[in-house]
A and B are shown apart, each in its own frame.
Chain A
Amino acid sequence: MNVRAKKVSTLTTILAVLIIGTFYGVFYFFPVGNLLKYGTEFTTIKEVFSSSSTWKVIWFTTWQALLSTFISLLIGIWIANVFTKFQFRGKQFLKALSIIPFVMPTVVVATAFISVNEFLRLDGTMFTLQGSTFGIIIAHVFFNTAIVVRTVGSIWPLIDPESEMAARTLGSSTSSTFLRVTLPQLKASIFASGSLAFLFTFSSFGVILLLGGLEKATLETEIWRYATQRTDFKTAAVLGIVQLTIIIVMLALNSRSRRQGAAVLKSGTSSTQPTCANTHFLKFRLGTCVVFIAGFLGLPFALLVERSLSTNNGYSFLYYKQIFLESSERFSVFGTRQAILNSLMWATFAMIIATILGLLAAILMTHKSPKLSRSSDVVLLMPLGTSGVLLGFGIIVSLDTSILDVRSEWWIVPVAQAILGVGFVSRIVSTAIRNQNPELKQVAQTLGAAPAKVWWHVDMPIISRSLIAGSIFAFAIAIGEFGATAFLARPQRPTIPTTVFNLLGRPGAATFGQAMALSVILALITATAVSVLDRTGSVVGNEI
């Protein structure tokens, strides 16, 4: 590379650093820092750490997160395997189904799980979903499997099947091949999705609160309790610092191991094409997985649909009609149609911000300099593991100067959602960048493509698939309204989750039914958006 090209590349990197740095600095570090400073008093620190319940909370938070992540990985890899290897009818549908849990408001999922509990008569048994650690873990797996399936599933097709065939001819059994040949090639994406899942389960809030039964407390719920119910910011801040420290440590470890395990998949040579299941054994493999997906992911959803359709007069679409037609006066306060529009708009906005920033971030994360890539690896994902309460409160406390009083602007919500989404996009995209075949770029150069053109014509089509995968998540996060946004001051524009919340916040069979119907609609919107994006992903790869 000659001097000019090097200068351009350095300039791009500097630009990326400045943009990302400013965005994160203003909307994350500054607000969170402002709150965490309450936790720097020595007496409070001493108090918090000398209490045994603090240690119990830390311990519980950590091990339930690890266990949830581990199981999510197992199940996610299994499902990703089936999606990669097999072509079958209804595959699109199942793929979309696997991401819906991620979007659903926690309250709705909790309701669905209770229904499952009743339906399967688990209450009172060891496997009860309500008020047990088992329930928490299952719910976490329910939410987070999507991350694993999507991340690992976008990389798996790029593995050269011949490497597996070679292993088989050398005497390795199917399972041994999987462990020794396939899995190492998936390491990077497994780490990527695993760390994301850990972040979510570690700082999980709604699930613990609603399903965990009240004896289960995690760092996040304790922070919430002290900050919002006791107005004790000092204790909350100390706990917040503890939470953040553990997250940073985990991210740093994870960053190191990702680097060591990066295998270069030659995208461009033969890739795994999905085939039909021909033999009995293959059909069985496919079948068990489909049944599992349908059952595990689909059953709660099915029960939700059932609840949305069951009126006092038997089954009908009554509640759906009510949502869309808004004929009855008393329901006009809920503004359901507007809510759907608003949700879509805000989520799209957040998704766009997260995608652009995520791409820039991915560039930083795959930079040649190990210091830059490692530090951005850790820093960019910190928001996902930070307490939503602290971030939301932090924004409210900090962004209050006359120039910067954005606390109540409508766009602070998608911006906060975007910050959470950037981590996803950058993780998934950087994995794809690392896995690229370098020869493609070299060939393009010899064919007369300047570095910018190389990037556009060669890198982008290949990265775009992973970019789409990341954007989908950013969209899903935004439309399900996660985390920090619950603690911001939001201008009252109804969104689907807030409307569901309002509907569930008052008694009445009709409002409950409408809430269920609206949740089903939310799921369908997400599924549709996801399928559209999925299709665009493969089309983008084929365009000129």
Chain B
Amino acid sequence: MPAEEIMKVQAKLVSVFIAVMLLPLLVVACSNSDDNNNVAKRDCLTAEDSVTITTTSEDSKAVSGESIDLVVYDAFLAPPGAFEKFTEETGIAVNILTTADTGTMVSQAVLTSGDPIGDVMFGVDNTFLCRALLNNVFSPYRPSTWDQLEESLKLDPFARVTPVDFGDICLNYWIDDTRNQPTSIKDLTDTEYAGSFVTQNPETSAPGMGFLLASIAVFGEDGWEQYWKDLRNNDIEIRSGWTEAYYEDFYSKERNIVTSYATSPIAEYIFSDPPLSKPPTGVVGDSCFRSIEFVGILRGTDSPVASAMLIEFLTSTYFQELIPETNFVLPANKKAELPETFKKFLKTDLEPVMIAPELIELKRNEWTESWTQIVLR
């Protein structure tokens, strides 16, 4: 009977369909998982046994014509023409691969440690540094510009990562505001500052994390929780990201103090419309958290030499001088000259605080959990 034949064919179809779809799944399930996530319990800044990359001038000529991938986070902007210049000079083409926020970028690197999605990664910061190092994400390389770089930024003595820029996360406030203008982090718990402050969730925002870490540095591991309890009682606003906090609450003048960057006032000045004579916002100097960004060669890259040359380029004075006006952070290379606006308006009397990367890695989850309980619940 034809009907039976049809049924048989249909049954076959269904099984083919399901099999084709699920076959890869079975392959995956049965294969031994390469345990990339094996977090060894060791200090992240101790010695690594892997071989350092070195390059010679013959190597440099040999890689002309290659193409490498530079992995960056979403807010990264390439200075116009910069990478074209690199290609001109070395014959190496650079593809920029954009991921999401820094945390996501680092997680991706951890997941793919040893089999990376690109060749060089730009933008791991000091709060995520240990996580990356513990998972063996980078191959060490000490560029020839190493000695030109600011000492305090070289958090990894083994050059698995190279500092490329730094910035300070500070409290910003409107200068011409009729309301009170803070001079210290401690002001924020005073009743005169009730309802003035907006900051970000440290779990979802880099400046938010920066301010939390600053408060821990200032008040100590035993005192920061009380500070935040007081803040909460003083009517603070918490947003999930910098954009919302800055553009919605800060811009609308609903809140006149926001966690942002030390360079934000300069950006306000540059992008002001109509032009202003000086920055409209100011920075509180006693509680800036130093944020350092690093660049490193991803372990497992096919193009170690070309990648090394890119590191050289990124730390060269040429590139370093382009950084401030593009990304509003400061160059790591001491020899790089700052643009006029920066020289004019950048506050030099800031005393940024830092916390050791190993401590951040160790306590990060605990601190954010505690913060969430105190501030959000």
Binary per-residue interface labels of chain A (116-159) against chain B in the complex, 1 for a CB within 8 Å, 0 otherwise:
00100000000000000000000000000000000000000000
Binary per-residue interface labels of chain A (461-500) against chain B in the complex, 1 for a CB within 8 Å, 0 otherwise:
0000000000000000000000000111111100000100
In whole angstroms, how far apart are the Cα atoms of A312 and B97 in the complex?
A: 36
- Minimal Cβ-Cβ distance residue in B for A371: B14
Contacts of A38 in B (CB 8 A): 33, 37
- Minimal Cβ-Cβ distance residue in A for B29: A37
Contacts of A21 in B (CB 8 A): 16-17, 20-21
Judge whether B148 is part of the interface by a CB distance below 8 angstroms: no
Contacts of A498 in B (CB 8 A): 74, 98
Task: Determine if B118 and A33 form an interchain contact, defined as CB atoms under 8 angstroms apart.
Answer: no
Judge whether A320 is part of the interface by a CB distance below 8 angstroms: no
Task: Determine if B376 and A215 form an interchain contact, defined as CB atoms under 8 angstroms apart.
Answer: yes
Among B28, B264, B325, find the residue whose CB has the most chain A CB atoms closer than 10 A: B28
Judge whether B23 is part of the interface by a CB distance below 8 angstroms: yes
In whole angstroms, how far apart are the Cα atoms of A389 and B77 in the complex?
A: 23
The residue that A233 contacts in the complex, of B37, B79, B238, B270, with Cβ under 8 A, is B37
In whole angstroms, how far apart are the Cα atoms of A210 and B248 in the complex?
A: 12
Tally of chain A residues near chain B (CB < 8 A): 79
- Minimal Cβ-Cβ distance residue in A for B33: A37
Judge whether B4 is part of the interface by a CB distance below 8 angstroms: no
Contacts of B117 in A (CB 8 A): 396, 400, 407-408, 489
In whole angstroms, how far apart are the Cα atoms of A509 and B16 in the complex?
A: 58
The residue that A29 contacts in the complex, of B14, B25, B204, B247, with Cβ under 8 A, is B25
In whole angstroms, how far apart are the Cα atoms of A334 and B238 in the complex?
A: 29
Contacts of B365 in A (CB 8 A): 230
In whole angstroms, how far apart are the Cα atoms of A24 and B6 in the complex?
A: 26
Given contacts A25-B21, A229-B203, A489-B71, contact A369 B13 (CB under 8 A): yes
In whole angstroms, how far apart are the Cα atoms of A491 and B97 in the complex?
A: 4
Task: Determine if B14 and A369 form an interchain contact, defined as CB atoms under 8 angstroms apart.
Answer: yes
In whole angstroms, how far apart are the Cα atoms of A30 and B24 in the complex?
A: 5
If over half of A's interface residues share one DSSP class (helix, strand or loop), that class is named, otherwise mixed; here it is helix
Binary per-residue interface labels of chain A (372-411) against chain B in the complex, 1 for a CB within 8 Å, 0 otherwise:
1001100100000000010001001110100000011000
| Partner-contacting stretch, out of B46-54, B106-114, B151-159, B226-234 | B106-114
Task: Determine if A492 and B78 form an interchain contact, defined as CB atoms under 8 angstroms apart.
Answer: yes
Task: Determine if A33 and B99 form an interchain contact, defined as CB atoms under 8 angstroms apart.
Answer: no
Task: Determine if A502 and B106 form an interchain contact, defined as CB atoms under 8 angstroms apart.
Answer: no
Among B7, B14, B204, B274, find the residue whose CB has the most chain A CB atoms closer than 10 A: B14
Contacts of B95 in A (CB 8 A): 408, 491-492
| Partner-contacting stretch, out of A10-18, A68-76, A286-294, A414-422 | A10-18
Given contacts A30-B24, A408-B69, contact A10 B9 (CB under 8 A): yes
Task: Determine if A372 and B108 form an interchain contact, defined as CB atoms under 8 angstroms apart.
Answer: no
The residue that A368 contacts in the complex, of B10, B17, B72, with Cβ under 8 A, is B10
Within 8 A of A (CB), among B1-53: 6-7, 9-11, 13-14, 16-18, 20-25, 27-29, 33, 37
Task: Determine if A333 and B272 form an interchain contact, defined as CB atoms under 8 angstroms apart.
Answer: no
In whole angstroms, how far apart are the Cα atoms of A55 and B80 in the complex?
A: 49
Contacts of A26 in B (CB 8 A): 24
Within 8 A of B (CB), among A312-328: 312-313, 318
Contacts of B6 in A (CB 8 A): 6, 368
Given contacts A30-B24, A490-B97, contact A513 B78 (CB under 8 A): no
Judge whether B150 is part of the interface by a CB distance below 8 angstroms: no
* Nearest CB in chain A: distance from B78 CB, A: 7
Task: Determine if B20 and A214 form an interchain contact, defined as CB atoms under 8 angstroms apart.
Answer: no
* Nearest CB in chain B: distance from A15 CB, A: 11
Among A37, A215, A333, find the residue whose CB has the most chain B CB atoms closer than 10 A: A333
Contacts of A37 in B (CB 8 A): 28-29, 33
In whole angstroms, how far apart are the Cα atoms of A396 and B112 in the complex?
A: 8
In whole angstroms, how far apart are the Cα atoms of A458 and B240 in the complex?
A: 53
Task: Determine if B112 and A492 form an interchain contact, defined as CB atoms under 8 angstroms apart.
Answer: no
* Nearest CB in chain B: distance from A32 CB, A: 8
Task: Determine if B103 and A107 form an interchain contact, defined as CB atoms under 8 angstroms apart.
Answer: no
Judge whether B75 is part of the interface by a CB distance below 8 angstroms: yes
Judge whether B337 is part of the interface by a CB distance below 8 angstroms: no
Task: Determine if B97 and A510 form an interchain contact, defined as CB atoms under 8 angstroms apart.
Answer: no
Task: Determine if A228 and B101 form an interchain contact, defined as CB atoms under 8 angstroms apart.
Answer: yes
Judge whether B273 is part of the interface by a CB distance below 8 angstroms: yes
In whole angstroms, how far apart are the Cα atoms of A106 and B326 in the complex?
A: 25
* Nearest CB in chain B: distance from A399 CB, A: 10
Judge whether A501 is part of the interface by a CB distance below 8 angstroms: yes
Binary per-residue interface labels of chain A (510-538) against chain B in the complex, 1 for a CB within 8 Å, 0 otherwise:
11110000000000000000000000000
The residue that A507 contacts in the complex, of B20, B99, B246, with Cβ under 8 A, is B246
Judge whether A257 is part of the interface by a CB distance below 8 angstroms: no
- Minimal Cβ-Cβ distance residue in A for B375: A214
Judge whether A225 is part of the interface by a CB distance below 8 angstroms: yes
* Nearest CB in chain B: distance from A286 CB, A: 36
Task: Determine if B252 and A372 form an interchain contact, defined as CB atoms under 8 angstroms apart.
Answer: no
Contacts of A448 in B (CB 8 A): none
* Nearest CB in chain B: distance from A213 CB, A: 8
Contacts of A490 in B (CB 8 A): 97-99
Contacts of B244 in A (CB 8 A): 110-111, 114, 210
Binary per-residue interface labels of chain A (350-374) against chain B in the complex, 1 for a CB within 8 Å, 0 otherwise:
0000000000000010011101100
Within 8 A of A (CB), among B75-134: 75, 77-80, 95-101, 103-104, 106-108, 110-112, 115, 117-118, 131
Among A231, A364, A379, A488, find the residue whose CB has the most chain B CB atoms closer than 10 A: A231
* Nearest CB in chain B: distance from A300 CB, A: 14
Given contacts A33-B25, A490-B97, contact A333 B77 (CB under 8 A): yes
Judge whether B241 is part of the interface by a CB distance below 8 angstroms: yes
Task: Determine if B271 and A510 form an interchain contact, defined as CB atoms under 8 angstroms apart.
Answer: yes
In whole angstroms, how far apart are the Cα atoms of A48 and B353 in the complex?
A: 36
In whole angstroms, how far apart are the Cα atoms of A30 and B26 in the complex?
A: 9
Give the top 3 A-B pairs by smallest Cβ distance, nearest first. Answer: A508-B271, A21-B20, A369-B10
Q: Which residues of B contact A (CB under 8 A)?
A: 6-7, 9-11, 13-14, 16-18, 20-25, 27-29, 33, 37, 69, 71-72, 74-75, 77-80, 95-101, 103-104, 106-108, 110-112, 115, 117-118, 131, 135, 201, 203-204, 238, 240-244, 246-248, 251-252, 260, 264, 267-268, 270-274, 325-326, 328, 365, 372, 376-377
Q: Which residues of A contact B (CB under 8 A)?
A: 6, 10, 13-14, 17-18, 20-22, 24-26, 29-30, 33-34, 37-38, 107, 110-111, 114, 118, 209-210, 214-215, 225, 227-231, 233, 311-313, 318, 330, 332-334, 364, 367-369, 371-372, 375-376, 379, 389, 393, 396-398, 400, 407-408, 486-492, 498, 501-502, 504-513
Q: List 6 A-B contacts (CB under 8 A).
A: A18-B16, A30-B27, A30-B28, A229-B103, A330-B270, A510-B271
